[in-house]
Amino acid sequence: MSKPTRGLGKGLGALLGDTAGLEQLRRPVGYVHKEVVGTTDPQDTADVLRIPVDMIEPNPYQPRLSFDQEALQELAASIRTLGLIQPITVRKKSADRYQIISGERRFRACRLAGMDMIPAYIRDASDQGMLEMAIVENIQRENLDPIEVALSYQRLIEECNLTQEQMADRVGKKRASVTNYLRLLKLPAKVQHDLKVGLLSVGHAKVLLGVDDASAQEKLCDIVVKNGLSVRQLEAKVKELLSSGQKEPSPAAPLPDEYGKVLERIGKFFDKEISLKRTSSGKGTMTIRFDSDEEMKRFLKALEDSNI
């Protein structure tokens, strides 16, 4: 769910300065160091391999029936510039055919971008235990960048049907640490790219997550990359930016664990985020945004199957 944009005033450019000349610092995430599918045996389902685009087919059970063409064009333009940051997930159907499990929108955008090879995770859809072990093993590697760690956490939750709490137990991390990594995936593609290739630190990313406006996040990211700002210097920039539009809000009190579990369970049935706001007295609101009647039907079926 997109958050409401916060008033940032008219002096964004003046506050943040010039960010021209950054393109020579950025290079697309191309996964050129990864093997092409079929050249390694066996294939590690936790690693990324490159698959020729003509060997991939959509999933006939894909619940999303329509794709916003304008949004696809925008994603394709981003992929041309930055590469595909989040690989798709497929399963092997035959020696030369793979079927999409998740990531059809990214797959379509890659085709629009003219890619002939697409980075993908390959999983055996019938063996969840092996997949879980492979992903956990992958997370324990020391050379993973923060986005790879976040994507691995996301895969454990989505593909192995785990809650954040269960997943934290699997990888031996505190739930708060897992949540902080997953939040990185909410950042714009440009910011994720710079974090992935080491132009930005996790500390910088956490500060950027405190800004609700995506364009401001990208602009601030540009400033960090160009001027080599420290985390403290970035915090000062953010404070200056927020004070130019409105007073910086006081931080919200963390939600009790039960609320997080509610968000996790209900969120599985909807493509968009759901939000929950709670006052100190326990009163609050929960907002669910959905894209189609099919999402609501799936949610209703789940309620009926559970006799709720």
pLDDT tens over the chain, length 308 residues: 444 444 454 456 665 666 666 666 676 776 665 677 665 554 556 678 899 999 999 876 554 556 778 889 999 999 998 889 889 988 888 888 898 887 888 999 999 999 999 999 887 766 666 567 667 766 766 667 889 888 888 888 887 788 888 888 888 888 888 889 999 999 999 899 999 888 999 999 999 998 888 888 999 999 998 889 999 999 998 888 877 764 444 445 566 767 777 777 776 776 566 777 777 667 777 777 777 777 778 778 777 777 66
Digit-coded pLDDT (tens) for 162-190: 888 888 888 888 888 888 999 999 999 98
pLDDT of residue 137: 66
Instruction: Supply the DSSP symbol for 49.
Output: E
Listed in sequence order, the residues at least 6 apart from 96 whose beta carbon sits closer than 8 Å to its beta carbon are 38, 55
pLDDT of residue 281: 65
* Angle, helix 214-227 to helix 231-245, in steps of 10 degrees: 140
Catalytic residue among 35, 104, 148, 235: 104
pLDDT of residue 293: 77
How many alpha carbons fall within 13 Å on the CB side of residue 269?
Answer: 16
pLDDT of residue 9: 47
A 10 A CB-CB count for 19 gives 16
Cα separation, 186 vs 192, in Å, equals 9
**Are the CB atoms for 31 and 47 separated by under 8 Å?**
no
Q: Is the pTM of this model over 0.75?
A: no
pLDDT of residue 77: 92
Q: Is 104 a catalytic residue?
A: yes
pLDDT of residue 151: 87
pLDDT of residue 20: 62
Digit-coded pLDDT (tens) for 86-95: 899 888 888 8
Distances (CA, A) of 35 to 32, 47, 50, 119, 289: 8, 10, 6, 10, 39
Cα separation, 12 vs 159, in Å, equals 41
pLDDT of residue 129: 66
**Are the CB atoms for 192 and 185 separated by under 8 Å?**
yes
pLDDT of residue 142: 60
